Structure 1
Amino acid sequence: MTRKLAAIIAADVVGYSRPMGGDEAGTLSALKTHRRELIDPKIAEHQGRIVKTTGDGLLIEFPSVVEAVQCAVEVQRAIQDCNMDVPADHRIEFRVGINLGDVIIDGDDIYGDGVNVAARLEGLAEASGVCVSKVVRDQVRDKLDLVFEDLGERQLKNIARPVHVFRIAASVVGQPAPSAKPALPLPDKPSIAVLPFTNMSGDPEQEYFSDGITEDIITALSRLHWFPHYQPAHRRDDEQPHMGGAIRPRAQ
């Protein structure tokens, strides 16, 4: 039994049955075109070897983990560019898992946990995304200009120990960034938050002074005619915010 250390990529077409169901011939043609013009040349460029194909999936080995990650990122970017003018339900999108581990060589095939972890990581990746194990991230973090997002430890199916998983940031592989939430509109009327004052004396009997100041401010505000709405604050130590904490408006 021969073993070796290898960088493994497991890649799979996301939702392959969906475009196949709508246009089988067109989907097969598009996939073959991606393979011929984009994927296979990139694999060769980075000294990779296609171990096997599974219809819509690929298992690839590389002698260098840096080359493996570079290849995955470049392929994902290129496919995203190709998909720009393609309807969403006809796009070919891959998800990729990358691991660095010990593998068993059997002729032209490879087996072992190194391969299995890569396959499980691929299952965690989003469309056009790349997930890697911690050992991969650690090996390339100072060699490639990439951003990694920590997904924490995951218990992967049929893998004895938890695997620490990282995701290459969506912006790196060409995925659209999440749209920012629109800012809340500013109120058309002035608002004032009245927060309870904290008794800093350490004497519980002085608590009424801080309460009294708060109530005096609220009372004064209530007399202002340009405050059409007034909501008083009632002191409750377990709910009221303190100075320096989160601010919640009490008078408007």
Structure 2
Amino acid sequence: MPKFLRIGIHWSNVSGYTSKAWCVRRVGSVVHLKWGAVEVHGAGDGRKVCWSRLPQEKTIRCGTAQRAQDYTKAAIARRRSHRYEPLTGPITNRRPSAGRSPEPKQALATILIVDIVGSTAKAAKLGDARWTKIIGHYYAAVRKELKSARGKEVVTTGDGVLATFRAPAAGIACATAIQKAMRTLGLEIRVGLHAGEYTMSGGEMVGLAFHIGTRVAAKARAGEVLVSSAVKDLLKAQPAISLRDHGMHQLKGVPERWRLYRVEC
């Protein structure tokens, strides 16, 4: 079964991040598809990939073997244009610890969300080959700064990255470092940070804190790092970090209005 993994920084020494995998198999006139979130551990020949939750599956009945073959070729070509690379080796199932069922894990952390501004237009301007190379450098730079600041990558969403930190100061330091790194790549990003409780369930982050974080990031303009009032309240003992009042905002789908602050680098 041909397998593909979303391109990121698979050639580096970084381990323990999330990505997406996609598989296709043709049997006569029938095409079987499988896709979903995966965890990547190790690098190079020692890289291991496992499903972080049960993958989705779909069966396509094409009528004839030739139609099935054409469908498969087109599906593979389309997937590669979405920045996937051929994956060798198996994708294993992630098994819960023996003797107990997996339970939702609650945590309190500072949530950081990074997003590229105008990525679609830039990709169209540069072309697939150049854009794929830049995206690879983008993920490598973000993960380098996350590692330096002891942040934990939770998930990647298209050209966005969501990570958590134990301390808000570390999250802000990481955000400003990422901003500086992006300038060398000619990319503009927006960053949002919020502090609160969230739950990890089935490899996914759920909870209102996650949604507030995404809405804070959406309010940021190119080159801005915005934080919620919850982050500011936790920074009272950090006078070295300069924040400027960004006003009251209604965050889409979030109760009440929130005061946001812009990080002054």
Instruction: Tell whether the structures are fold-level matches, with TM greater than 0.5.
Output: yes
Distance 1:145 1:15 in 2: 32
1:76–1:128 contact (8 Å) kept in structure 2? yes
Counterpart secondary structure, 1:43: helix
Q: How far apart, CA to CA, are the structure 1 residues paired with 2:162 and 2:239?
A: 23
Distance, in Å, in 2 between the alignment partners of 1:66 and 1:92 is 24
Match 1:29 to one of 133, 138, 145: 133
- Give the counterpart of 2:142 among 16, 39, 42: 39
1:79 and 2:182 aligned: yes
Give the gaps of 5 or more residues in structure 1.
Answer: 84-90, 173-252
What per-residue deviation string (whole Å, max 9, x for no partner) do you get for residues 125-150 of structure 1?
11121010012122225426232111
> 1:19 deviation in Å?
0.9
2:112 maps to what in 1? Answer: 9
Which of 68-77 and 142-151 deviates more?
142-151
Q: Does 1:146 align with 2:241?
A: yes
Q: 1:64 to 1:17 in 2, by over 3 A?
A: same
What is the aligned partner in structure 2 of residue 68 from structure 1? 171
1:132 aligns with 2:235: no
Q: Secondary structure at the match of 1:59?
A: strand
Which of 49, 56, 62 pairs up with 2:159?
56
- Give the TM-score normalised by the residue count of structure 1: 0.60
Q: Which runs of 5+ in 2 are unaligned?
A: 1-103
Partners of 1:156 and 1:162 within 8 A in 2: yes
Secondary structure of 1:159's aligned partner: coil
Contact in 2 for aligned 1:31/1:92 (Cα 8 Å): no
- Rg comparison, structure with higher value: 1
Q: For residue 207 of structure 2, what is the aligned residue in structure 1?
A: 112
Per-residue Cα deviation, 1:150-185 (whole angstroms, up to 9, x for no partner) = 12221101101211111113xx1xxxxxxxxxxxxx
Q: Distance in 2 between matches of 1:128 and 1:32?
A: 20
Amino acid in structure 1 at the alignment position of 2:168: V
Counterpart code for 2:134: A
Greater mean deviation of Cα atoms: 106-115 or 129-138: 106-115
Q: How does 1:153-164 map to 2 (within 5 A)?
A: 153-164=248-259
Cα-to-partner distance string for 1:87-121 (whole Å, 9 max, x where unaligned) = xxxx3211000000110121432111111111001
Cα distance in structure 1, aligned partners of 2:250 and 2:197: 19
Shift of 1:34: 2.5
In 1, distance between residues paired with 2:123 and 2:132? 8
Residue 230 of structure 1 is matched in structure 2 by none
- The 1:144–1:29 alpha-carbon spacing in structure 2 relative to 1, beyond 3 Å, is farther
Q: Percent identity, aligned pairs only? A: 25
Structure 1 residues 144, 34: CA separation in 2 closer, same or farther (over 3 Å shift)?
farther
Structure 2 counterpart of 1:93, from 171, 185, 188: 188
Contact 1:95–1:129 under 8 Å retained in 2? yes
Q: Which amino acid aligns with 2:106?
A: R
| TM-score normalised by length of structure 2 | 0.57
SS where residue 193 of structure 2 aligns?
strand
| Structure ranking higher in strand proportion | 2
Q: Secondary structure at the match of 1:71?
A: helix
Distance in 2 (CA, whole Å) between partners of 1:168 and 1:54 is 24
Whole-Å separation in 2 of the counterparts to 1:153 and 1:29: 39
User: Is the Cα–Cα contact under 8 Å of residues 65 and 139 in structure 1 kept in the other structure?
Assistant: yes
Partner-residue secondary structure (3-state), 2:142: helix
Q: Distance in 1 between matches of 2:196 and 2:214?
A: 12
Amino acid in the other structure paired with 1:162: R
How far has the Cα of 1:49 moved from its partner? Answer: 1.3
